[in-house]
Amino acid sequence: MNILSTENLFKDYINGPVVSKVLKGIDFNVKKGEFLAVMGPSGSGKSTLLYQLGLIDNATSGKIILDGQSVSDLTDEEKQNIRLNSLGFVFQDYALIPELTASENVMIALMMKGYSKQKAYDISAHYLEMMGLKDRLRNLPSQLSGGEQQRVSVARAVAHKPKILFADEPTASLDSTMSEQVMSVFKELHKNGQTIVMVTHEPEYGKLTQRIVYLRDGKIENHNHKF
Ligand SMILES: Nc1ncnc2c1ncn2[C@@H]1O[C@H](COP(=O)(O)OP(=O)(O)OP(=O)(O)O)[C@@H](O)[C@H]1O
Ligand SMILES: [Mg+2]
């Protein structure tokens, strides 16, 4: 069953008189529980595709169907609700709030969804422990290594059990040891049933997924079914 699919998706960026055609008719499917990698040259449109799929940005034309619902024609507020409640995001630069501890960074996302402070704390502690950060709950981001910060951001992204976890080059700022820690967290999440769409430049991390979709110049180049 597809949890996410697109039909003939186009994205143009318009800056004054300049129109950049970035996505050029993308038909793309993600199955429930799938761990999928998006790869391709710099500038091919990987982040742009992720932003459309994650309802962070509005496509120029085409359709996005999330868990059986067409989401293309929803209002910005409706999209925001879906983003908050059903999707999770991990970015290259962790995007943690520097003034908040590891656990507070996870809690704040949960409290925005209406969880009580105590409940949010308990969930944050559970997920941070799962990420191997049991002893780091009270650390500020500046008191954590890059790999630890990224695992906090993964905990924040999955603590509300999103239908899909999107990650845009989650290991690009990390050395190989830290990258492997983060990738083993992704593998564990996938084993527990999490659907994951991950953009990566690293062929060795692409190989950890079930399927790699290659983008080139805004189009899907081929599907590489490994199994
Ligand atoms: N807001 C924007 N306005 C105009 N052009 C943009 C904007 N964002 C991205 N682009 C252009 O769209 C194209 C695709 O960018 P995108 O960031 O999706 O590529 P990418 O595949 O993620 O590359 P990288 O591997 O370097 O992250 C690039 O040519 C980029 O310059
Ligand atoms: Mg990118």
Amino acid at 196: I
Read off the pLDDT of residues 2-31 as tens digits, 9 standing for 90 and up.
999 999 999 999 999 999 999 999 999 999
Give whole-number Cα distances, 160 to 9, 83, 89, 179, 225, in Å.
28, 11, 12, 24, 30
**Is the distance from CB of 36 to CB of 210 less than 8 angstroms?**
yes
Read off the pLDDT of residues 54-69 as tens digits, 9 standing for 90 and up.
999 999 999 999 999 9
User: For residue 134, is pLDDT > 60?
Assistant: yes
Is the minimum distance from the CB of 44 to ligand 1 under 6 angstroms? yes
For residues 202 and 172, give the distance between their C-alpha atoms in angstroms, rounded to a whole number: 9
Q: Closest ligand 1 atom to the C-alpha of 201? A: 25
Tell me the average pLDDT across 121-130: 96
Choose between 121 and 109: higher pLDDT: 121
Read off the pLDDT of residues 154-172 as tens digits, 9 standing for 90 and up.
999 999 999 999 999 999 9
Q: Closest ligand 1 atom to the C-alpha of 45? A: 18
Is the minimum distance from the CB of 42 to ligand 1 under 6 angstroms? yes
If one residue of 22, 23, 216 were mutated to test the ligand 1 pocket, choosing by the most ligand atoms within 8 A of its CB, it would be 22
SS3 label, residue 42: coil
pLDDT at 113: 87
pLDDT band at 227 (very low <50, low <70, confident <90, very high): very low
Residues 6 or more apart in contact with residue 108 via CB below 8 angstroms: 97, 100, 120
Q: Both tokens of residue 83?
A: 């983003």
For ligand 1, the distance from its centroid to the CA atom of residue 13, given in whole angstroms, is: 9
Could you give the percent of the chain with pLDDT greater than 90?
A: 94
Is the minimum distance from the CB of 22 to ligand 1 under 6 angstroms? yes
For ligand 1, the distance from its centroid to the CA atom of residue 203, given in whole angstroms, is: 20
User: For residue 223, is pLDDT > 90?
Assistant: no
Ligand 1, atom 6: closest residue by C-alpha: 13
Residues 6 or more apart in contact with residue 100 via CB below 8 angstroms: 108, 140, 141
User: For residue 153, is pLDDT > 50?
Assistant: yes
User: For residue 214, is pLDDT > 80?
Assistant: yes
Q: In the chain, which ranges are continuous DSSP H helix? A: 46-53, 76-86, 102-112, 117-130, 146-158, 176-191, 203-206
Q: Closest ligand 1 atom to the C-alpha of 50? A: 18
Greatest pairwise CA separation for the chain in angstroms: 53
Q: What one-character DSSP code corresponds to residue 54? A: T
Domains, the chain, ranges and CATH?
2-99+145-225 (3.40.50.300)
